[in-house]
Amino acid sequence: MLNSRPGSPSEKAPTGIQPLQLSFGRDGFMYVPPTYSPSKPSPLLVLCHGAGHDSHEWTRAPLPELFDKDAIVAVMPDSRQMTWDMIYGDYGPDVRFIDDALALAFKRCRIDPRRIALGGFSDGATYALSLGITNANLFSTILAFSPGFVRPAVKTGKPRIFIGHGRQDEILPVDLTSREIVAALKEKNYPVHFEEFDGPHTVTTEEAKHAVAWFMEG
Protein backbone atom coordinates (compact mmCIF):
# COMPACT_ATOMS: atom_id res chain seq x y z
CA MET A 1 0.00 0.00 0.00
CA LEU A 2 1.06 3.58 -0.67
CA ASN A 3 1.12 5.87 2.36
CA SER A 4 2.04 9.31 0.96
CA ARG A 5 -0.79 11.82 0.72
CA PRO A 6 -0.97 15.41 -0.57
CA GLY A 7 -0.70 18.28 1.88
CA SER A 8 0.87 21.73 2.11
CA PRO A 9 4.12 21.97 0.10
CA SER A 10 7.25 22.83 2.09
CA GLU A 11 9.53 23.43 -0.90
CA LYS A 12 9.35 25.51 -4.06
CA ALA A 13 8.89 23.36 -7.14
CA PRO A 14 11.35 23.99 -10.00
CA THR A 15 9.49 24.06 -13.31
CA GLY A 16 10.35 21.87 -16.26
CA ILE A 17 11.68 18.33 -16.12
CA GLN A 18 13.99 17.48 -13.23
CA PRO A 19 15.54 14.20 -11.96
CA LEU A 20 13.97 12.83 -8.81
CA GLN A 21 17.41 12.32 -7.24
CA LEU A 22 16.02 9.59 -4.99
CA SER A 23 18.38 6.86 -6.18
CA PHE A 24 21.71 6.34 -7.93
CA GLY A 25 21.39 4.65 -11.30
CA ARG A 26 17.71 3.94 -11.82
CA ASP A 27 15.88 7.05 -10.63
CA GLY A 28 13.24 8.94 -12.61
CA PHE A 29 11.93 12.41 -13.36
CA MET A 30 9.32 14.93 -12.30
CA TYR A 31 7.73 17.40 -14.71
CA VAL A 32 6.26 20.61 -13.30
CA PRO A 33 4.63 22.67 -16.06
CA PRO A 34 5.26 26.42 -16.28
CA THR A 35 1.51 26.85 -15.79
CA TYR A 36 1.71 25.37 -12.28
CA SER A 37 0.86 27.78 -9.48
CA PRO A 38 1.07 26.99 -5.75
CA SER A 39 -2.08 29.05 -5.29
CA LYS A 40 -4.16 26.42 -7.13
CA PRO A 41 -4.04 22.63 -6.59
CA SER A 42 -2.80 20.77 -9.67
CA PRO A 43 -3.68 17.30 -10.95
CA LEU A 44 -0.93 14.68 -10.60
CA LEU A 45 -0.14 11.82 -12.98
CA VAL A 46 2.33 9.03 -12.13
CA LEU A 47 3.62 7.20 -15.22
CA CYS A 48 5.15 3.70 -15.26
CA HIS A 49 7.40 2.71 -18.19
CA GLY A 50 7.41 -0.55 -20.12
CA ALA A 51 9.57 -3.62 -19.49
CA GLY A 52 13.25 -3.23 -20.31
CA HIS A 53 13.00 0.55 -20.35
CA ASP A 54 13.10 3.40 -17.86
CA SER A 55 11.53 6.81 -17.31
CA HIS A 56 13.29 8.23 -20.39
CA GLU A 57 10.51 6.46 -22.28
CA TRP A 58 8.19 9.24 -21.08
CA THR A 59 10.61 12.16 -21.37
CA ARG A 60 10.65 11.66 -25.13
CA ALA A 61 6.90 12.42 -25.20
CA PRO A 62 5.68 15.99 -25.89
CA LEU A 63 5.18 16.78 -22.18
CA PRO A 64 4.26 20.48 -22.61
CA GLU A 65 1.69 19.55 -25.26
CA LEU A 66 0.11 16.99 -22.94
CA PHE A 67 0.31 18.65 -19.53
CA ASP A 68 0.78 22.43 -19.67
CA LYS A 69 -2.79 23.41 -20.55
CA ASP A 70 -4.21 21.82 -17.38
CA ALA A 71 -1.11 22.40 -15.20
CA ILE A 72 -0.69 18.64 -14.65
CA VAL A 73 2.32 17.61 -12.57
CA ALA A 74 3.86 14.33 -13.80
CA VAL A 75 6.04 11.88 -11.86
CA MET A 76 7.94 9.26 -13.90
CA PRO A 77 9.77 6.77 -11.65
CA ASP A 78 12.12 3.98 -12.72
CA SER A 79 11.41 0.42 -11.64
CA ARG A 80 14.14 -0.99 -9.39
CA GLN A 81 14.84 -3.84 -11.83
CA MET A 82 14.17 -4.07 -15.56
CA THR A 83 10.43 -4.15 -14.97
CA TRP A 84 8.01 -3.75 -12.07
CA ASP A 85 8.18 -5.91 -8.96
CA MET A 86 4.66 -7.33 -9.16
CA ILE A 87 5.51 -8.84 -12.57
CA TYR A 88 8.20 -10.88 -10.78
CA GLY A 89 5.68 -12.21 -8.28
CA ASP A 90 4.97 -9.71 -5.51
CA TYR A 91 4.90 -6.04 -4.55
CA GLY A 92 7.92 -4.62 -2.75
CA PRO A 93 10.75 -2.20 -3.62
CA ASP A 94 8.91 -0.48 -6.47
CA VAL A 95 5.98 0.36 -4.21
CA ARG A 96 8.36 1.93 -1.71
CA PHE A 97 10.13 3.91 -4.43
CA ILE A 98 6.86 5.20 -5.89
CA ASP A 99 5.80 6.17 -2.38
CA ASP A 100 9.03 8.17 -2.01
CA ALA A 101 8.46 9.83 -5.40
CA LEU A 102 4.92 10.75 -4.38
CA ALA A 103 6.18 12.19 -1.10
CA LEU A 104 8.61 14.35 -3.08
CA ALA A 105 5.85 15.59 -5.39
CA PHE A 106 3.60 16.39 -2.43
CA LYS A 107 6.46 18.22 -0.69
CA ARG A 108 7.09 20.40 -3.75
CA CYS A 109 3.65 20.87 -5.30
CA ARG A 110 0.13 21.61 -4.17
CA ILE A 111 -1.81 18.63 -5.53
CA ASP A 112 -5.56 18.20 -5.84
CA PRO A 113 -6.32 15.00 -3.86
CA ARG A 114 -9.35 14.35 -6.09
CA ARG A 115 -7.25 14.30 -9.26
CA ILE A 116 -4.38 11.87 -8.79
CA ALA A 117 -3.91 9.29 -11.55
CA LEU A 118 -1.63 6.32 -12.15
CA GLY A 119 -0.74 5.44 -15.71
CA GLY A 120 1.60 3.20 -17.64
CA PHE A 121 2.51 1.43 -20.87
CA SER A 122 2.82 -2.33 -21.45
CA ASP A 123 4.18 -3.89 -18.22
CA GLY A 124 3.80 -0.41 -16.75
CA ALA A 125 0.11 -0.47 -17.70
CA THR A 126 -0.31 -3.87 -16.06
CA TYR A 127 1.34 -2.40 -12.97
CA ALA A 128 -0.79 0.76 -13.08
CA LEU A 129 -4.01 -1.27 -13.24
CA SER A 130 -2.96 -3.58 -10.41
CA LEU A 131 -1.37 -1.01 -8.10
CA GLY A 132 -4.05 1.56 -8.90
CA ILE A 133 -6.93 -0.70 -7.85
CA THR A 134 -4.93 -1.71 -4.78
CA ASN A 135 -4.59 2.00 -3.90
CA ALA A 136 -7.90 3.36 -5.18
CA ASN A 137 -8.12 5.39 -1.97
CA LEU A 138 -5.31 7.51 -3.48
CA PHE A 139 -5.75 7.20 -7.25
CA SER A 140 -9.07 8.42 -8.65
CA THR A 141 -8.09 7.42 -12.20
CA ILE A 142 -5.98 4.82 -14.02
CA LEU A 143 -4.64 5.31 -17.56
CA ALA A 144 -3.43 2.00 -19.00
CA PHE A 145 -1.87 1.77 -22.46
CA SER A 146 -1.56 -1.80 -23.81
CA PRO A 147 -1.73 -3.74 -20.51
CA GLY A 148 -1.18 -7.49 -20.28
CA PHE A 149 -3.31 -8.39 -17.24
CA VAL A 150 -4.55 -7.05 -13.91
CA ARG A 151 -3.76 -8.48 -10.46
CA PRO A 152 -4.44 -6.17 -7.50
CA ALA A 153 -3.21 -7.20 -4.07
CA VAL A 154 -6.40 -5.89 -2.45
CA LYS A 155 -9.29 -3.72 -3.63
CA THR A 156 -9.70 -0.38 -1.90
CA GLY A 157 -12.26 1.10 -4.27
CA LYS A 158 -13.21 1.48 -7.93
CA PRO A 159 -11.20 4.13 -9.76
CA ARG A 160 -12.13 5.36 -13.22
CA ILE A 161 -10.14 3.35 -15.77
CA PHE A 162 -9.01 4.33 -19.28
CA ILE A 163 -7.54 1.55 -21.43
CA GLY A 164 -6.07 2.15 -24.89
CA HIS A 165 -4.65 -0.60 -27.10
CA GLY A 166 -3.45 -0.90 -30.70
CA ARG A 167 -5.24 -3.44 -32.87
CA GLN A 168 -1.97 -4.44 -34.56
CA ASP A 169 -0.13 -5.08 -31.28
CA GLU A 170 1.95 -8.24 -31.83
CA ILE A 171 3.61 -8.20 -28.38
CA LEU A 172 0.43 -8.08 -26.29
CA PRO A 173 -2.38 -8.85 -28.75
CA VAL A 174 -5.49 -6.87 -27.89
CA ASP A 175 -7.87 -9.84 -28.16
CA LEU A 176 -5.86 -11.78 -25.56
CA THR A 177 -5.31 -8.86 -23.17
CA SER A 178 -7.27 -5.60 -23.07
CA ARG A 179 -10.52 -6.98 -24.45
CA GLU A 180 -10.54 -9.67 -21.76
CA ILE A 181 -9.43 -7.20 -19.06
CA VAL A 182 -12.18 -4.73 -19.99
CA ALA A 183 -14.85 -7.43 -19.99
CA ALA A 184 -13.75 -8.65 -16.55
CA LEU A 185 -13.61 -5.14 -15.09
CA LYS A 186 -17.02 -4.20 -16.47
CA GLU A 187 -18.49 -7.40 -15.06
CA LYS A 188 -17.32 -6.15 -11.64
CA ASN A 189 -18.84 -2.70 -12.32
CA TYR A 190 -15.63 -0.74 -12.70
CA PRO A 191 -16.15 2.47 -14.71
CA VAL A 192 -14.06 1.66 -17.80
CA HIS A 193 -13.47 3.65 -21.00
CA PHE A 194 -11.85 1.47 -23.69
CA GLU A 195 -10.33 2.68 -26.95
CA GLU A 196 -8.81 0.57 -29.70
CA PHE A 197 -6.71 2.34 -32.31
CA ASP A 198 -4.89 1.35 -35.49
CA GLY A 199 -1.30 0.82 -34.44
CA PRO A 200 1.28 -1.59 -32.96
CA HIS A 201 2.59 -1.90 -29.39
CA THR A 202 2.97 1.82 -28.69
CA VAL A 203 1.47 4.91 -27.11
CA THR A 204 0.65 7.45 -29.80
CA THR A 205 0.52 11.16 -28.97
CA GLU A 206 -3.10 11.22 -30.07
CA GLU A 207 -4.00 8.35 -27.72
CA ALA A 208 -2.12 10.01 -24.85
CA LYS A 209 -4.07 13.22 -25.48
CA HIS A 210 -7.34 11.27 -25.39
CA ALA A 211 -6.38 9.72 -22.05
CA VAL A 212 -5.29 13.00 -20.47
CA ALA A 213 -8.47 14.75 -21.66
CA TRP A 214 -10.55 11.90 -20.22
CA PHE A 215 -8.66 12.17 -16.93
CA MET A 216 -9.42 15.89 -16.73
CA GLU A 217 -13.09 15.40 -17.62
CA GLY A 218 -13.46 13.35 -14.46
Q: What is the pLDDT of residue 75?
A: 98
Cβ atoms of 150 and 136 within 8 Å: the answer is no
pTM of the predicted model over 0.95: yes
Q: What is the pLDDT of residue 79?
A: 98
Q: What is the pLDDT of residue 218?
A: 85
**H or E segment and range at residue 194:** strand 192-197
Low-confidence residues in the chain, pLDDT < 50: none
Q: Which of 86, 108, 92, 139 is nearest to 7 (CA)?
A: 108
Q: What is the pLDDT of residue 118?
A: 98
Q: What is the pLDDT of residue 89?
A: 87
Which residues, at least 6 apart from 191, have a Cβ–Cβ distance to it below 8 Å?
A: 158, 160, 161
- CA 17 – CA 8 distance, rounded (Å): 21
How many angstroms separate the first and last alpha carbons of the chain? 24
